[in-house]
Amino acid sequence: MAHAAPRPTGLATRGLGSDAAVKLTPVLALVYGYWAAAIQRSGGPITAGNVWLGIVSTVAFAAVYLAVLKLAPRLPREARALAWGAFAGIAFGYLYSLTGESVLRSAGNAGLFGAAVACAAFYRFYTTED
């Protein structure tokens, strides 16, 4: 007699829109903003422009992250994975562009990173959904 496999509990069934992900938003945004400011300052003194870049990066990252968290669960798994990949690729590309590399190299690396995240997200969504 065949029995159904037990359903996983915990993070695998809650998805990326869980309360833990929302509570983690300020931490992720602050790390991102600090990282952007640190890259842009390039070891030099802290300036007002550098501080503002960090603040604006923090707010923008948090706003887009929360928007993806809210909207992604409503999408089919393919579009949801693409949304997370695009978010990760754009966030990575912006940080990479602050290093002074060319726009073409920044866009290429961002595209590769975003594609990798989209593939990983699709795999996760495909294997954990009903």
Q: What is the pLDDT of residue 129?
A: 76
Per-residue pLDDT reduced to its tens digit, 69-88 = 999 999 999 999 999 999 99
Q: In the prediction, which pLDDT does 12 show?
A: 44
pLDDT tens, residue by residue, 11-65: 444 455 578 888 999 999 999 999 999 999 988 899 999 999 999 999 999 999 9
DSSP string, 59-106: HHHHHHHHHHHHHGGGS-HHHHHHHHHHHHHHHHHHHHHTTT--HHHH
* Size of the chain in residues: 130
